[in-house]
Each structure stands twice: as C-alpha cells, then as structure tokens.
C-alpha cells in the first residue's frame, strides 16, 4: 500500500517535471524550427515543428545580404569581451583591497559600494547620458564599456572570497620580494579561478543581453549591439519571422556555448548572488 | 620603530588606493556624480537643443507627476504587473525547486532545460513570444485545436500586458528556482525524519518543514523580484515598438521615463523626477516586504 502510494507520488512528480520541461522547450524549438523554414511556410501558419522545406537561406540572408548584422555581432562581441575582462580584473582588485589591505576610508567605501547596489539604474541613466555626451562618448565602445567596467555585486563577492583566502602563500611571496601587484597577479588571481569564472559568466551575460544601455548610448545603426539590431529587424521585416528567428538563434548561441562549458560555475555564481 | 611603522602604513594606504583606483574612478564619474547630477536635474527644466541649458523650477517636476495622466497609467500598469508576477514567479520557483530536489532520476537534465530562459536575452525571448503570440501564431493555433477562442495578444489593450506577464513569469522563475535549490540542500534530513515519525505525508512535509525553513530565502527572492519587476522595460519596449501601446496598456514607469528623457524635448528634468519617484517606490516596497516577513517569523 505504502509503496504503491509512493510510486504514485513519484509519477506525479515526473509528470510535473516533464510538463514544465516541455513548456520551457517549446518556445525555443519553435524558434529554431522557424529559422529553417521558408517564408511561405511561415505565412501559412502551420504548426509543424519539422520544416517542410528545410532551408539555410534565412541564415544566409542575415549574414550576407544584411551587411549590418555581422557588424552588430562584432560590436556585441567587442563590448562584452573587453567589458568582461576589465570587470574581472578591477572587481577582483577592489575586492582584494577591501578584504586584505588597510587604508583610510576603507569602511566608508565598502558601505558606499553596498549602497550603490540598491540604486535603480534609471536614476543614473539620464545624467550618464549627459556625461557621455559631454565626453563625446556616445556611439562609442568606451561609452558602453567604461561606465560598467566595475560591478558592485561582484566587488562584494570577491571581497567575501578573499576574506577566506589563505594568507600564508602571499606572505611567502612577500618574503621572496614580490610587490603587492606582483603577488596579486602572479599568485592570488590564478588561485581565484573558480570565483573569476562565475563572475565572468554573469558579467558577460549582462553585457551581451543588455538592451536599455545600448539603446541610449548607441544611436548610430553602425554601432548597434545585437539586441538593438534584432529590434530594428523586427521593424524592418514585419512578417519575416524566419529572418528574425534566425538572427535570434545566432544571438543566443554564444551564451549557450558558455553555459555548456562553465555549467558548474553557473550554479555557484547564482547561489552566491542569492546571498550565500 | 615608530617611524618605520608609519612608513609602512603610508605604503599600505598607497597600495589600497592603487587597487581601488579603477573602482573609485567609475564610482565618482558614473555613479555618485550622476546621482547628484540627477538630483539637480529633477529640480530643473532641461533643454538639450544645441547647448544644454537648465532653468530652476523647484518642485514643479515632482508636482507634475500627479497631474500627468500617462504617469498614472504607467504606475497602474507597473503595480498590476508587480502584484501578479512576483507571487506567481516565487511560487512557481519554489514548486519547481522542491520537485527537482525530490531525488528523482534525470534531475540534472531537467535542471539544464529549465535554465534555458535565464540564459537567453530579454530581446530574443520577447521576439520569440511575439512570434508565438501572433494572430496566426502557435498559441492561437493551439487554442483553436482544443476548441478555445483565440486572442489578439499583441493588439488588444486588455490582453497585451497579461501576455508580457505570462512570458516573464516563465522567463524569471527558473532563476529563482536555482536560489531555492541551493537553499534546499541546507535543510537537515533530521527535520524530515522527525516529521515522518509524526506521520506527515509528502504535502505536509512540504508545507510544515520546507516552506517555513525557506522563509528567509523567500524573503530574498521576493525582494529581488520586486526590484526586477518594478523596472520592467525591455519587454514593453520591444512589444510595443517603444510606444507603450496598444492604448498605453504596456506603458511602464521605466518606459515612460525613457520616453520623457530621450524621445520628447524639454522633459528630461521631469524624467529625472520620475526616476526618483520610482526609486522611492521600490525602496518603500522592499521595506514593507521586510516588515511583513519579520512579523511573520515571530510565529
């Protein structure tokens, strides 16, 4: 009796899991299949997930005929890659200083960094636009990268990480005559790889998926990042959902690859940002 | 001796500031400076034509919020969105996490699948859903197949915001699920064993052991949810092509701030005032939530 009840419960759980997995997968599979369909099939409004006439023409269209699309992809890559590298170095440096070095104003700075976490981006977005305009940084990579080359969340995360970091190694290196910066880059950072990986993934995703900031900073279509480009695609090809879906798939691929490689750091990173 | 230690102190301080310098630079130029600048802007009428010019108007920008019909609509839409999405995504996240944590086979596979929406950008998700929400799109076809009436998800003012809600609950729940999953690992088995000895069934264990134990995490998830949902922008913008339509039904506070700041002339100061109003609303909402969860934990 009891075991029958248990197996019933188990099947119920499986039903929930499978149903939700289907709910999650259907939009992605539908988008993927639409990206391989011809325009006629898209317009006809059929429900088949396997394209009747499988075609790569949509991908060809966006890469070859739309000369701006590769440019947008490049813009997105440049901003996300450089922005992520700078974040990793600068957040770690700040986290290390807050955890290990003593200097006047350290406590106040730490409190300010925590307070910054609470301020919604909309408050700073308007003045930032005016400042970037004044600097002549609108429609430039640095206009996207420099204001976000540090991140309060990850400074905080790195501080927590370095507080628990063993001191002995650094002390040994100090005796060998290495400077602080030398110790940091040669000894501390290489040992912090897991924390850096978790940070890298989230910072990269933040840059890659950002919509609002490029919308404000980049007004020249040449300088658009992919999310903005996708949005203009939508306006340009009103019912060409096959093109829009193909572009969406290209845009999603890099993050999926990153996830595939760094899966385990992902969960760690989230449970960290989850206040652990 | 004393001299040496003060020299060392000086050296330490120098190193500290050296390590902090990139952070200090960005903090000053792009965070603290702009906050002060935003306060200044919110008390001024700002003209961007040619030279940027300012005209002090005291509290006029703040007073204007109350008389602005679109601001009230945006606030109403945003409030409705927050009140529905936050509880739904929190409950869904908790159920998914508890189900995944039951120790079934294939847990890893499901976890990877569930996580897909979190990885995908809001722009892509919105476009995929617009394609499915299309008049002759997948969802209407499915509804027709099971004999239900279809909807004009994108064009009907009564439906459009709900369509965005549904999409975002689907998209954000998995992120919070992961937070719950991590917390579930910390529940000691002995609690469940004790409950079993008392004859509790699976549902009772969920409601009397799991849910109370996770209360602090729930509080965190709700606060994160509040902050995120109050700032809804990307989806509304893409859904409506930046207008907040149809008939202002997808107009959110942040979309309105964007429109006033960058799409109409002479209203940048007013937009800054709106941004402060939003920041204060978010702060109050999180404080109320905090108070609630503290009182609850007294039981």
Can you tell me the ipTM of this complex?
Answer: 0.89
Gap between the terminal Cα atoms of chain A = 41
With CB atoms and an 8 Å threshold, state whether B23 touches A124. no
What span, in angstroms and rounded, lies between the C-alpha atoms of A260 and A90?
26
Count of CB contacts below 8 A, A vs B? 251
Provide, as residue numbers in chain A, all residues whose Cβ is less than 8 Å from the Cβ of B145: 47
* Residue A264 burial (10 A CB sphere; 0-12, 13-18, 19+): exposed
Provide, as residue numbers in chain B, all residues whose Cβ is less than 8 Å from the Cβ of A120: 227, 230-231, 275, 278-279, 282
What's residue A178's pLDDT?
Answer: 82
CATH architecture of B61-296: Orthogonal Bundle (1.10)
Specify whether the CB–CB gap between B185 and B168 falls below 8 A.
no
Q: With bands split at pLDDT 50, 70 and 90, how would you rate the model's confidence at A35?
A: very high
Specify whether the CB–CB gap between B255 and B74 falls below 8 A.
yes
What span, in angstroms and rounded, lies between the C-alpha atoms of B273 and B62?
6
- Of the listed ranges A41-45, A186-190, B30-34, the least confidently predicted one is A41-45
DSSP secondary structure letter of residue B51:
S
With CB atoms and an 8 Å threshold, state whether B38 touches A126. yes
Could you tell me the two tokens for A257? 């690859």
- Residue B55 bridge partners (DSSP): B45
User: From the list B29, B131, B279, which residue is nearest A34 (CB)?
Assistant: B131
Could you tell me the two tokens for B292? 């609630």
Domain ranges of chain A: 68-273
Q: Which residues of A41-64 are buried (b: 16+ CB within 10 A; e: fewer)?
A: bbeeeeeeeebeeebebbbebbee
Provide, as residue numbers in chain A, all residues whose Cβ is less than 8 Å from the Cβ of B141: 45, 47
What's residue B112's pLDDT?
Answer: 86
Tell me the Ramachandran region of residue A191: left when phi exceeds 0, alpha when psi lies from -120 to 50, beta otherwise. Answer: alpha
Domain ranges of chain B: 2-42, 61-296
Specify whether the CB–CB gap between B73 and B154 falls below 8 A.
no
Q: Is A215 on the interface with B (CB under 8 A)?
A: yes
Provide, as residue numbers in chain B, all residues whose Cβ is less than 8 Å from the Cβ of A101: 12, 15-16, 19
- How far apart are the CA of A240 and the nearest CA of chain B, in angstroms? 10
What's residue A150's pLDDT?
Answer: 95
With CB atoms and an 8 Å threshold, state whether A124 touches B38. yes
Q: With bands split at pLDDT 50, 70 and 90, how would you rate the model's confidence at A25?
A: very high
pTM: 0.90
Provide, as residue numbers in chain B, all residues whose Cβ is less than 8 Å from the Cβ of A181: 18
Q: With bands split at pLDDT 50, 70 and 90, how would you rate the model's confidence at A275?
A: very low
Over residues A93-105, the pLDDT tens digits come to 999 999 989 999 9
Label the pairing between strands B53-56 and B44-47. antiparallel
Mutate to test the interface with B, among A8, A16, A20, A189 (most CBs of B within 10 A): A20
Mutate to test the interface with A, among B118, B119, B268 (most CBs of A within 10 A): B119
For B10, the closest chain A residue by CA position comes to A103
What span, in angstroms and rounded, lies between the C-alpha atoms of B83 and B190?
36
Q: Is A29 on the interface with B (CB under 8 A)?
A: no
pLDDT in tens, chain B (299 residues): 466 678 878 888 899 999 999 999 999 999 999 999 999 999 998 888 777 788 888 888 999 999 999 999 999 999 999 999 999 999 999 999 999 988 888 888 898 899 899 889 999 999 999 999 988 889 998 998 898 988 999 889 999 999 999 999 999 999 999 889 888 988 888 988 899 899 888 889 899 999 999 998 999 899 999 999 999 999 999 999 999 989 999 999 999 999 999 998 889 999 999 999 999 999 999 888 888 776 554 44
For residue A5, the surrounding DSSP H or E stretch is: helix A2-34
Over residues A137-158, the pLDDT tens digits come to 999 999 999 999 999 989 998 9
For A263, the closest chain B residue by CA position comes to B112
Mutate to test the interface with A, among B12, B88, B121, B203 (most CBs of A within 10 A): B121
Q: Which residues of B13-29 are buried (b: 16+ CB within 10 A; e: fewer)?
A: bebbbebbebbbebbee
Specify whether the CB–CB gap between B222 and B86 falls below 8 A.
yes
Cα Rg for chain A, rounded, in angstroms? 24
Enumerate residues 55 to 114 of chain A having a beta carbon within 8 A of any beta carbon in chain B. Answer: 86, 89-91, 93-94, 96-98, 101-104, 106, 109, 112-113
What's residue A151's pLDDT?
Answer: 93
DSSP secondary structure letter of residue A62:
I
Residue B56: phi and psi, rounded to 5, are -65, 125
- Which DSSP string corresponds to B70-133? HHHHHHHHHHHHHHHHHHHHHHHHHHHHHHHTT--TTHHHHHHHHHHHHHS-HHHHHHHHHHHH
Provide, as residue numbers in chain A, all residues whose Cβ is less than 8 Å from the Cβ of B217: 274
Provide, as residue numbers in chain A, all residues whose Cβ is less than 8 Å from the Cβ of B95: 16
CATH architecture of A68-273: Orthogonal Bundle (1.10)
Q: Is B63 on the interface with A (CB under 8 A)?
A: no
With CB atoms and an 8 Å threshold, state whether A93 touches B272. no
Q: Is the confidence at residue A32, as pLDDT, over 60?
A: yes
User: From the list B19, B122, B283, which residue is nearest A101 (CB)?
Assistant: B19
- How far apart are the CA of B158 and the nearest CA of chain A, in angstroms? 23
User: From the list B122, B241, B283, which residue is nearest A211 (CB)?
Assistant: B122
What's residue B296's pLDDT?
Answer: 54
């Amino acid at each position: 009796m009891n075991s029958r009840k248990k197996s019933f419960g188990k099947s119920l759980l499986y039903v929930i899991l499978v149903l939700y997995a289907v709910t999650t997968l259907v939009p992605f599979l539908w988008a993927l299949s639409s990206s391989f369909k011809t325009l006629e099939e898209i317009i006809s409004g059929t429900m088949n997930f396997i394209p009747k006439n499988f075609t790569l023409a949509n991908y060809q269209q966006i890469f070859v005929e739309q000369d701006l699309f590769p440019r947008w992809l490049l813009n997105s890559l440049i901003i996300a890659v450089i922005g992520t590298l700078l974040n990793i170095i600068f957040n770690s440096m700040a986290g290390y200083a807050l955890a290990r070095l003593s200097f006047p104003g350290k406590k106040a700075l730490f409190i300010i960094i925590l307070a910054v976490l609470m301020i919604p981006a909309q408050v700073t977005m308007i003045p930032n636009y005016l400042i970037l305009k004044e600097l002549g940084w609108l429609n430039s990579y640095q206009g996207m990268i420099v204001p976000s080359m540090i991140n309060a969340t990850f400074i905080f995360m790195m501080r927590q990480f370095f507080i628990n970091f063993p001191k002995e190694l650094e002390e040994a290196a100090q005796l060998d005559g290495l400077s602080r910066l030398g110790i940091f880059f040669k000894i501390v950072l290489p040992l912090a790889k897991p924390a850096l990986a978790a940070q890298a993934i989230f910072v990269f995703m933040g840059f890659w998926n950002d919509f609002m900031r490029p919308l404000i900073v980049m007004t020249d279509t040449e300088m658009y990042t992919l999310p903005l480009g996708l949005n203009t695609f939508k306006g340009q090809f009103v019912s060409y959902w096959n093109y829009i879906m193909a572009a969406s798939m290209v845009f999603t691929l890099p993050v999926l690859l990153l996830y595939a490689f760094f899966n385990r750091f992902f969960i760690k990173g989230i449970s960290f940002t989850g206040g652990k | 001796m004393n001299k040496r230690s003060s020299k060392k102190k000086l050296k330490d301080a120098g190193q500290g500031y050296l390590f902090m310098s990139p952070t200090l630079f960005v903090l000053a130029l792009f965070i603290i400076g702009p906050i002060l600048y935003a306060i200044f802007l919110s008390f001024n009428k700002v003209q961007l034509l040619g030279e940027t010019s300012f005209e002090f108007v005291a509290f006029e920008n703040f007073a204007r919020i109350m008389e602005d019909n679109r601001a009230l609509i945006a606030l109403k839409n945003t409030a409705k969105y927050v009140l529905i999405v936050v509880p739904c995504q929190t409950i869904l996240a908790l159920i998914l996490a508890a189900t995944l944590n039951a120790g079934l086979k294939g847990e890893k596979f499901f976890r990877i699948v569930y996580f897909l929406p979190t990885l995908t950008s809001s722009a892509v998700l919105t476009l995929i859903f617009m394609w499915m929400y299309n008049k002759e799109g997948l969802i209407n076809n499915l509804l027709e197949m099971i004999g239900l009436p279809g909807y004009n998800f994108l064009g009907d003012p009564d439906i459009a915001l709900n369509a965005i809600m549904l999409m975002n609950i689907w998209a954000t729940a998995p992120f919070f699920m992961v937070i719950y999953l991590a917390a579930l690992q910390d529940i000691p088995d002995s609690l469940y064993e004790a409950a079993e000895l008392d004859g509790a069934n699976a549902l009772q264990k969920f409601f009397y052991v799991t849910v109370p134990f996770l209360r602090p995490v729930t509080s965190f998830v709700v606060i994160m949810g509040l902050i995120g949902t109050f700032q809804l922008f990307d989806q509304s913008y893409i859904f409506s092509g930046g207008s907040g339509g149809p008939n202002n039904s997808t107009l959110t506070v942040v979309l309105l701030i964007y429109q006033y700041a960058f799409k109409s002339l002479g209203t940048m100061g007013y937009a800054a005032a709106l941004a402060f109003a939003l920041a204060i609303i978010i702060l109050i909402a999180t404080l109320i939530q905090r108070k609630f969860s503290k009182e609850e934990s007294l039981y």
